Amino acid sequence: MNLAHLHIVLNHIPSLGSFAGLLFLVAAMRIKNDALKKFSFQVLFFVAMSVLPTYISGVEAQRYVRKLPAVALPIIQVHENAAMLTLIGMTITGTLAWFALWEFRRFRRAGSLTSGLTLVAATATAVLIFYTGSLGGKISHPEIREVADAAVTVEQGWQEPIELFVSAHSWIWPAAETLHFLGMSVLFGVAFLLLLRMLGATKSIPFSAIHRLLPLGVIGFVINAATGMLFFIASPGIYLGKNSFHIKMSCILLASIPIFYFTLFDEPWQTGSNENAKTISKLAAVCTFGLLVAVVIYGRLLPFLS
């Protein structure tokens, strides 16, 4: 299985999951069912985490499909434009959904503002995903193309304009790097404090206090994701075809699992002041920190690894 196959498999997750999460959320808000609302936020969070590998595998898949005779190259560019908008929209939706889950743990319910913003973002993103998917089907299926598709040109893509813009403004890359490292520092700091508490080094601090800091870590991750995608779009050759880049992306996705655990599950929340954390909480903290260390290492060594 190559990355083109992987992209075909992965794109079903956001395509179906975003609509399912949106329908669950609409139903939950209509009947005022907090349990269903919480479930809908969980669905939207996991869908958001699936969009990043879907986008990355889609960019990699271009190298395979461009060689096929029936492929429409201009539609690939328009599809990539829509995929980037979808990635941005789903990142916003996933962040809002996670914050709603954070509120559920802290206040036993999600705020009306958070729920409303998530609903708006999920609706917009579902429309974008539907549009992106329809464009993806037209790339290699001429039977579903419309007359207007023939007027689409390669110049409508974003990659070359962004590359030229970044090259023409020498301050952009260093500024983005600075933001990237600041975001990583915040995320790394929260993960390190979480690790210390779970292992008993700061035993006097209850987990409920650490829980207050989790949004800072998520904000750091969002900053990293935004600047990282700028690097990827501006200079895809550094990343494409490298196993080290795929390992880094895998570590980022795996790290979302223990973060989800600390957001929702009872075991860490029940860890009070001067109490030992459960074994599973210690393991989750070690995994979170270890995966972030791997992300940093592979990120720094990316230019030198294959």
Q: What is the pLDDT of residue 134?
A: 80
**Cα–Cα distance for residue pair 110/91, rounded to 1 Å:** 19
Q: How many helices (H) and strands (E) does the chain have?
A: 12, 0
- For Cα atoms 55, 57, 61, give the angle at the middle one, nearest 5 degrees: 115
- Domain definitions of the chain by residue range: 1-156, 158-306
pLDDT of residue 197: 92
CATH 1.10.275 for domain 1-156: no
Which residue type is seen at 49? M
Q: What is the pTM of this model?
A: 0.87
Tens-place pLDDT, residues 9-32: 788 888 899 999 999 999 999 999
Q: Is 68 left (phi over 0), alpha (psi -120 to 50) or beta?
A: beta
Q: Please tell me which residue, 189 or 233, carries the higher pLDDT value.
A: 189
Considering only residues 65 and 291, tell me which one the structure prediction assigns the higher pLDDT: 291
